Chain A
């Protein structure tokens, strides 16, 4: 056999690898196309594009000119086109041009579902709407689209005259900021960790003021968000706010992993000063429900407090268990 004509044998492993690479490349090429088709935004063929445009126009007309039912139906259809950035603006423009009350809330919910932060300006307008339900829907949408300056919007909600808006503002503030700066990974990936900490500190101050003014939902938010420095300030409200509200906030403090054990012990000490049966039940419940392997000193502190506080032992408690807390 002529050595020049002899084919060099391809090793099976290399062939296998090449095949897989080819499959991956093809898949990467096809995947966006498929997803675009699924979303109805296929810009591939002119016919498909015209069809999509027509459907979009139809939905837009229904939104601005149709009956309430038609407009709501149009919103549902538009929600499916998440990839199309025109959709959110189309809805926002329709809402800003004036829509009946039922449709406004639906439209705001749709904007939240679409999650496009470019309509924040419109959402901000509706966060100051005269109807409470519209304000609430706008705030929910702002949270859903992770609006820039969201903390400011939520703090403004805490200053609202309506208790429902204040309550939502407090809850959302606690949840949002705790989620964005609570975990180590979140802190590392945050674009501006210093800013977020600053936001949290400022938000805690506002929440403390809100709690002092009777916004019960602020207690849990403070518990989720407050640093160790905030615990004494929070404790000062123990004599002004209802105990159940305060215990809900303390619970949120105690379950956090990012809070030093010494801070938690200081909470136990402060609660021990109150020394009432509800406090004892609260500490007993926390003792049972929490894993203290990393914080033995907290466990010890709770056990000692439970012993010192007069009141029924867990065995003698009502079979229904401890009374439910506000905003657990």
Chain B
């Protein structure tokens, strides 16, 4: 054996010896997890030191008004410690503290400016001051004579620390500083449990500071850990009960998931302990769920105690059943700064400094204690429930309906989410009065638009309470009585859903009432039509006809004419042949507004439309239907246009011929004089080529215009000639391909495929001619037939 070989053996021996003796430090990323022996070790540590019962009937109150400690720097804040059983032993201290201190055994522990402050829970005297490794305290726990505190720098890549202090002297016993996030700790016998990076639950030996166990989730997150008696719970949305056998899946342990999906903000069971705020900094826990958990003997027996949980949203408090549905609700006068669930109900401390014991069954007040000071934040210990309900009872328990209505109608704009929750719960109740309640809430001036929409949706789903809706419909606008029209958006859909045909006369009255907002008319018309279809056809037809009659020719009363159009279409749907005939007459009348006439014509069956179209054009242009007794003083351009429309085919042929000769032709003009008897004289044309004049003049010369009282009248007629894309033109972009503007072009062209031929269209004075035809005049393609374009300009007077 050479010296070299001996050296190698020695080195290998040293390395193996060192490797065998090295221990991984706490929170090391290489620490093994989810091992059964670790969990057995943890159970042994729990059993080694039995849990000390938590002191009860105490409150620690941060005095003052507002939301949490807004003060900063060195300003001192007043903390009041109250023992409900021994009011004489209450004390008050003023000190500079970042948040509300936590109670750990016989100490209150808080922090300020990177220092840990420990006060005696007996009299508030200062026990010790120690330096924290990192400035922000996250939480504290107590195991024997040791106080464990987690702290963080709250940076973007945070560092955290777990530090053990001596409970008497504040001496640092050990400290682990890591890169990562630690949550608030909880003691578990002789172990301290700390959530780590939201994925791990780390157990540290309270005496040595060594990590003894680690749970790692592969399908969930851990953001908090809590101890209740001898039971440890941890988790995030799911509540895990700590027990042996966890292997990384949420199915390995008994879990409980609260039915909070319907609650505003979907609050977690407990606040996230990685966050420095809000609880740690003393901000009141104004939004959250409160509950107790019953643990049965089996691992899977965890359930909400008494089947009752509570939801607090500022000053709204709800009692919920095991499915998360409200069983009672109440709106308190001031915000809740802290709440604590008990077997009998929920204790809430209000910002006014009043501790209320709300019964779990009905929300009635079982007791109240006035602390005599306003509160910004508080911690509440376990409470003994009052033996009997407070007498005299200041606020009687009320029905769920009244409680929810009270919450829903609350004008506080912060509370819209809980009002919305109350509205949803209210809408699920079937009592007819609920319909009235929802309507009342809807009509409140303080109800914000989102809530109104929700109320309208809730009302639309109602199946009871039609009488209340009908009664609401009887109300009308009154300047003197200061009443407004009823909220149709909320009422009409509900009545339609209920098929309430008694509503038709009331809706009709509102339809014809000038005080009904224009925007509500379409809804009213839809409601009348729908109820008409369901049976009240005659009433609906009568109302709609009268409305159409009154306003069909009025261009200003019906801005845009949407309501008129809807009424006509509804009449067409509800009515029969008689109504169709009536609408045909309306569409044929020259006085009917254009929008309505077009809409009726579009909606009519095609066969009827064809028969109606001619009189419409005729009347519009004052020809066929004009009474011989009524001779106008002068002809209008519409008369001229209508007369030219009768020779449109002939003109088209002439214009196409001229196009073959003049590629750049864009417009054709006719100017002439109309005599009193309707004949023409002094006709001129542009272009004035001999061929074109020879073609068109014989056709124009035979035209007969309507008679007028004017002896002579100059008139003109213009045809715009425009190119039109053709199928045989060079291939353009295909729909769905090419640039976005090209797609639009394609869509427009395809959208116009239903346009009637130009000689049947209302504006026949535009000829669209293919570009390819213009480019290749010698080969006139079949596709070069002129077509109308819907966006054609009106004829221009010469």
Q: A interface vs B, CB < 8 Å? A: 57-58, 61-62, 65-67, 69-70, 96-101, 104, 125, 128-131, 134-135, 158-161, 166, 206, 209-210, 213
Given contacts A99-B591, A159-B479, A159-B480, contact A61 B630 (CB under 8 A): yes
Contact present for B550 and A61 (CB under 8 Å): no
Interface presence of B136 (CB below 8 A): no
Asked, given contacts A61-B630, A70-B630, whether A161 binds B591 with beta carbons under 8 Å apart, the answer is no
Q: Is the CB of B554 within 8 A of A62?
A: no
Q: Which residue of B lies closest to A213 (CB)?
A: B480
A161 and B479 alpha carbons, distance in the complex (Å): 6
What 1/0 mask marks residues of chain B from 546 to 568 whose CB sits below 8 Å from any chain A CB? 00111111111110000000000
| Contacts of B501-542 to chain A: CB distance below 8 A | 512-515, 518
**Which B residues are in CB contact (< 8 Å) with A70?**
630, 632
**Residues of A with C-beta under 8 A to B633:** 69
A-facing residues in B595-636 (Cβ within 8 Å): 622, 625-627, 629-630, 632-633
B479 touches A158 (CB 8 A): yes
Question: Are A125 and B556 in touch, CB under 8 angstroms?
Answer: no
Inter-chain CA distance A128–B476, complex, in Å, is 13
Closest 3 CB pairs of A and B: A130-B557, A98-B552, A130-B514
**Given the complex, which residues of A lie within 8 Å of B626, measured CB to CB?**
65
| Known interface pairs A99-B591, A101-B556; A161-B550 also in contact (CB < 8 Å) | no
Given contacts A58-B629, A70-B632, A99-B591, contact A160 B479 (CB under 8 A): yes
* Residues of B with C-beta under 8 A to A98: 548-554, 586, 589, 591-592
Chain A: CB-nearest residue to B591? A100
Closest A residue by C-beta to B515: A161
Give the nearest-CB partner of B619 in chain A: A65
Q: Are B550 and A159 in contact (CB under 8 A)?
A: no
Chain A residues closer than 8 Å to B515, beta-carbon distance: 160-161
Knowing A58-B629, A99-B591, the reply to whether A213 touches B479 (Cβ < 8 A) is: yes
C-alpha spacing A58/B549, complex, angstroms: 22
Identify which of residues 23-37 in chain B touch chain A, using a CB-to-CB cut-off of 8 Å: none
- In the complex, A243→B720 CA distance in Å? 67
Residues of B within 8 A of A166 (CB): 479
B512 near A128 with CB under 8 A, answer yes
Q: List 24 A-B contacts (CB under 8 A).
A: A57-B629, A58-B629, A58-B630, A61-B630, A65-B625, A65-B626, A65-B630, A66-B627, A67-B622, A69-B633, A98-B552, A98-B591, A100-B554, A101-B557, A128-B513, A130-B518, A131-B554, A131-B556, A159-B477, A160-B479, A160-B515, A161-B479, A206-B480, A209-B480
CA distance A128 to B625 in the complex (A): 32
What is the bound-complex CA distance between A70 and B627, given in angstroms?
12
Q: Add 10 more A-B contacts to A67-B632, A130-B518, A159-B481 (CB < 8 A).
A: A61-B630, A62-B629, A66-B627, A97-B549, A101-B555, A130-B514, A134-B557, A159-B477, A161-B479, A209-B480
Contacts of B586 in A (CB 8 A): 98
Query: Which B residue sits closest to A133, measured CB to CB?
Result: B556
Determine whether the beta carbon of B550 is less than 8 Å from that of A158: no
Q: What's the minimum C-beta distance from A303 to chain B, rounded to whole angstroms?
A: 39
B86 at the interface (CB under 8 A from A): no
Q: Which residue of B lies closest to A99 (CB)?
A: B553
A265 CB to nearest B CB, Å: 31
User: B86-113 vs A: 1/0 string, CB under 8 Å?
Assistant: 0000000000000000000000000000
B549 touches A210 (CB 8 A): no
Q: Does B728 contact A (CB under 8 A)?
A: no
Determine the interface band of chain B, counting residues with CB < 8 A from chain A.
20 to 34
Which A residue sits closest to B476, measured CB to CB?
A159
Q: Specify which chain B residues have a CB less than 8 angstroms from the CB of A210 in the assembled complex.
A: 479-480
By a CB distance below 8 angstroms, the chain B residues around A100 are: 553-555, 591
For B477, give the chain A residue with the smallest CB separation: A161
Name the distance in Å between B154's Cβ and chain A's nearest Cβ: 59
Q: Assess whether A130 is in contact with B549, with CB atoms less than 8 Å apart.
A: no
Closest residue of B by beta carbon distance from A156 = B478
Cα A149 to Cα B86 with chains together (Å)? 78
Chain A-chain B contacts (Cβ-Cβ < 8 Å), number:
85
Contacting residues, chain B, for A209 (C-beta < 8 A): 480
State in angstroms the CA–CA spacing of A209 and B629 once bound together.
54
Give the residues in chain B near A58, CB-CB below 8 Å. 627, 629-630
**Closest A-chain residue to B558, C-beta based?**
A130
Q: In whole Å, how far is A24's beta carbon from the nearest beta carbon of chain B?
A: 43
Most chain A beta-carbon neighbours within 10 Å: one of B518, B550, B552, B556: B550
Q: In the complex, A131→B556 CA distance in Å?
A: 8
In chain B, residues 456-491, which have Cβ atoms closer than 8 Å to a Cβ of chain A? Answer: 477-481
CB-based contact B478/A159 at 8 Å? yes
- A61, A98, A160 — which one has the most chain B CB atoms within 10 A of its CB? A98
Max count, chain A CB within 10 A of own CB: residue among B555, B557, B592, B625 = B557
A220, chain B: closest CB distance, angstroms: 18
A62 with B630: in contact, given A100-B554, A101-B556 (CB under 8 Å)?
A: yes
For residue A206, which residues in chain B have a CB less than 8 angstroms away from its CB? 480
- Nearest CB of chain A from residue B203's CB, rounded to whole Å: 74
Nearest A residue to B554 via CB reads A101
Instruction: Judge whether B627 and A65 touch: CB under 8 Å.
Output: yes
Kindly state the separation between the CA atoms of A158 and B481 in the bound complex, as whole angstroms.
11
Most buried by A among B549, B553, B630: B630
**Chain B minimum-CB-distance residue to A66:** B630
Contact across chains for B627 and A62 when beta carbons are under 8 A apart: yes
**B132 nearest CB across to chain A (Å):** 67
Shortest Cβ gap from B524 to chain A (Å): 13
Residues of A close to B625: CB separation below 8 A: 65
Complex-state Cα separation, A104 to B557, whole angstroms: 12
- A129 and B629 within 8 A (CB): no
* Complex interface: chain A residues within 8 A of B622 (CB): 67
- CB neighbours (8 Å) of B558 from chain A are 130
B629 surroundings in chain A (CB, below 8 A) = 57-58, 61-62
A70→B626 CA distance, assembly (Å):
12
* Neighbouring A residues of B591 by C-beta, 8 Å: 98-100
Contact residue among A57, A66, A69, A125 (Cβ-Cβ distance under 8 Å from B550):
A125
Considering the complex, which residues of chain B in the window 702-729 have a beta carbon less than 8 Å from any beta carbon of chain A?
A: none
User: Do the beta carbons of B479 and A130 come within 8 Å of each other?
Assistant: no
A135-B480 Cα distance, complex, nearest whole Å: 18
Select one of B480, B514, B555, B590 contacting A129, CB under 8 A: B514
A62's nearest neighbour on chain B, judged by CB, is B630
CA distance A104 to B592 in the complex (A): 14
Rounded to whole angstroms, the CA-CA distance of A200 and B588 in the bound complex is: 49
Q: Residue on A with the closest CB to B550?
A: A98
Distance from B482 Cβ to chain A, minimum over Cβ atoms (Å) = 8
Among the interface residues B552, B590, B629, which one has the most CB atoms of the partner chain A within 10 A? B629
Report chain A residues within 8 Å CB of B518.
130
Whether B480 lies near A104 (C-beta < 8 A) is: no
B520 to chain A, nearest CB (A): 12
**A62, A96, A97 interface centre (most CB from chain B within 10 Å):** A97
Tell me the nearest residue of chain B to A131, going by C-beta: B557
1/0 per residue, CB under 8 A from A, across B120-136: the answer is 00000000000000000
- Chain A residues with Cβ under 8 A from B554's Cβ? 98, 100-101, 104, 130-131
Contacts of B555 in A (CB 8 A): 100-101
CB neighbours (8 Å) of A104 from chain B are 554
Compute how far the CA of A146 lies from the CA of B478 in the bound complex, rounded to whole angstroms.
25
A96: B residues at CB distance < 8 A: 549-550
Docked CA distance A134–B553 (Å): 14
Cα(A161)–Cα(B514), bound, Å: 9
Give the distance to chain A from B519, nearest Cβ to Cβ, in Å: 13
Say whether A158 contacts B480, CB under 8 Å: yes
Nearest A residue to B548 by beta-carbon distance?
A98
The interface residues of chain A lying within 8 Å CB-to-CB of B592 are 98
Residues of B within 8 A of A213 (CB): 479-480
Q: Give A88 Cβ to nearest chain B Cβ, in Å.
A: 18
What is the CA–CA distance of A209 and B481 in the complex, to the nearest angstrom?
Answer: 9
In the bound complex, residues from chain A placing their C-beta under 8 Å from that of B590 are 65
B511 CB to closest chain A CB (Å) equals: 11
In Å, the complex CA distance between A158 and B477 comes to 12
Q: Tell me the minimal C-beta distance from A67 to chain B in angstroms.
A: 6
The CA-CA distance from A32 to B708 in the complex, in Å, is: 39
